[in-house]
Amino acid sequence: MVNASMLPLRGIAWALLGVTFVFLVAAFITKYFGRFPLPTDPLEQLKLIATDPVGWPAQAILFPVVHLAVTVIYGLLAVGLPTGLPRWLGIGATLLFAAGTLLWLPISLDRLRVFQAAPDLIRLYKPSAPSAIFHDMGVFWPHTLCILAAIGLMGSALAVGGVLPTVGWVVAGLAIIGGGAGILIMQDWPPFFSYVILLVMAIGLVRR
């Protein structure tokens, strides 16, 4: 049973659903990420970024803001879960999502840097020696694993706590499968997939 002192679940559920939709919008708001497959030519990448004065900066700002919003929502869910294992799982999920949020900040800052530098990089571009567009700061995989682990833990917390006894385990399973597939098979993990799993959780909470 869910703790009677739990904060209004319906409001939290709708907040998570709304925030998740913002995630999905931010993922495709740019000319760059709206292309499939993603451009690989450095000059084409720079031109798409330089000619997108709204979408590119917007996604760079929206992503950390929405990550922070989900962290707060996770915290509210954790506070309302029954004491014991469900609450501790919820707290762990919140802390991991907070860590994932911090790890995303260098990525967003680098994207803003690329946008500001794009005109000069295009002007000075040399096909024989193309400049690196994005800096590899080694935070993408730690961020991704933190977010997937956070989603998995919160799914487990909601299942164990009786809030989402079936959907919670589905969410946890999708997070585990996603992490394994990303590392072992795809060797990549588009953040969009994480938001889709979050969407499953949000819809489950709204329909509860």
Cα torsion 30, 31, 34, 36: sign: negative
Whole-structure pTM value: 0.89
Distances (CA, A) of 157 to 91, 103, 106, 111, 169: 9, 24, 30, 34, 9
User: Domain containing 135: what range?
Assistant: 9-207
One pLDDT digit (tens) per residue for the chain, 208 residues: 444 344 578 889 999 999 999 988 888 898 888 777 888 888 999 999 999 999 999 999 999 999 999 999 999 999 989 999 999 999 999 999 999 999 999 999 999 999 999 999 998 888 877 777 787 788 999 999 999 999 999 999 999 999 999 999 999 999 999 888 877 777 677 888 899 999 999 999 998 7
Neighbours of 22 (CB within 10 A): 17
- Can you tell me which residue has the tokens 């990448």? 45
The amino acid present at 169, given as its one-letter code, is W
Burial of 194 (0-12, 13-18, 19+ CB in 10 A): buried
What is the rounded distance in angstroms from the CA atom of residue 119 to the CA atom of residue 159? Answer: 50
Question: What is the rounded CA–CA span in Å between residue 193 and residue 137?
Answer: 22
Residue 7 has a pLDDT of: 52
In a domain? residue 107: yes
Output the CA torsion sign for 190, 192, 193, 195: positive
Separation between Cα atoms, residue 165 and residue 155, nearest integer Å: 9
Number of domains in the chain: 1
pLDDT, residue 67, reads 96
74, part of any domain: yes
In-domain check, residue 161 = yes
